[in-house]
Structure 1
Amino acid sequence: MSDLVFESVSVHYGHRRHGLTAVNHADLVVPSGEVVGLVGESGSGKSTLARAAVGLAPLSSGRIMLGGTDVRRLRRRERPLQMVFQDPYSSLDPRMSVGDSIAEAMPREGGRSSRSERRAEVARLLEQVNLDPGSAALLPGELSGGQRQRIALARALAGRPEVVIADEITSALDASVQGAVLNLVRETQRRLRLSMLFISHNLAVVRYLSDHIAVMYLGRIVEAGRTEEVLADPRHPYTRDLLAAVPGRDSGPPTADPAPVAEAADPHHPPPGCGYHPRCPAGPMVHSDRTICRTSDPAEDAASRPHRSACHFAADLPSRHPRGDSAS
Structure 2
Amino acid sequence: MSELVFEQVSVRYGTRRGGLTAVDGVSLTVPPGQVVGLVGESGSGKSTLARSAVGLAPVSAGRVLLDGIDVRQLAGRRPLQMVFQDPYSSLDPRMRIGASISEAMPRGGGADARRAEVARLLELVNLDPDRAGMLPAQLSGGQRQRVALARALAGQPKVVIADEITSALDVSVQGAVLNLVRDVRRSLGLSMLFISHNLAVVRYLSDIIAVMYLGRIVEAGPAEQVLSDPQHPYTRDLLSAAPAWNTPLFEDGDAAGVSDAEPSDPHHPPAGCRYHPRCALGPLARPDRDVCLTTDPAQDAERRPHRSACHFAGEPRPALPKGARA
One fold, TM greater than 0.5?
yes
Please show how residues 48-87 of structure 1 align to structure 2 within 5 Å: 48-75=48-75, 77-87=76-86
1:49-76 superposed Cα distances (whole Å, 9 cap, x missing partner): 000000000001000001110001114x
| Whole-angstrom distance in 2 between the partners of 1:189 and 1:258 | 34
| Whole-angstrom distance in 2 between the partners of 1:25 and 1:120 | 44
1:2 is matched by which residue type in structure 2?
S
Q: Which runs of 5+ in 2 are unaligned?
A: 319-326
CA contact (8 A) 1:260 1:285 kept: no
Please show how residues 1-328 of structure 1 align to structure 2 within 5 Å: 1-75=1-75, 77-108=76-107, 111=108, 113-248=109-244, 249-250=247-248, 251-254=250-253, 261-315=260-314, 317-318=315-316
- Superposition deviation, residue 120 in structure 1: 0.2
- Superposition deviation, residue 179 in structure 1: 0.5
| Whole-angstrom distance in 1 between the partners of 2:175 and 2:258 | 35
| Whole-angstrom distance in 1 between the partners of 2:255 and 2:201 | 27
Secondary structure of 1:240 counterpart? helix
Q: How high is the TM-score relative to the length of structure 1?
A: 0.93
Q: Which runs of 5+ in 1 are unaligned?
A: 321-328
| Whole-angstrom distance in 2 between the partners of 1:135 and 1:120 | 13
Alignment RMSD (CA, Å): 1.6
Count, aligned residues: 315
| Whole-angstrom distance in 2 between the partners of 1:289 and 1:319 | 16
CA contact (8 A) 1:258 1:281 kept: no
Moved over 4 A (4+): 255-260
| Whole-angstrom distance in 1 between the partners of 2:257 and 2:110 | 65
| Whole-angstrom distance in 2 between the partners of 1:210 and 1:97 | 33
The verdict on how the C-alpha distance between 1:96 and 1:234 changes in structure 2, with shifts beyond 3 A counting, is: same
1:191-247 superposed Cα distances (whole Å, 9 cap, x missing partner): 111000000000000000000100000000000000000000000000000000012
1:100-157 superposed Cα distances (whole Å, 9 cap, x missing partner): 000000011xx3x000000000000000000000000001111000000000000000
- Superposition deviation, residue 259 in structure 1: 8.8
| Whole-angstrom distance in 2 between the partners of 1:32 and 1:38 | 16
Q: How high is the TM-score relative to the length of structure 2?
A: 0.94
The verdict on how the C-alpha distance between 1:254 and 1:93 changes in structure 2, with shifts beyond 3 A counting, is: same
Deviates more, 1:175-184 or 1:246-255: 246-255
CA contact (8 A) 1:258 1:286 kept: no
- Residue 323 of structure 1 corresponds to which residue in structure 2? none
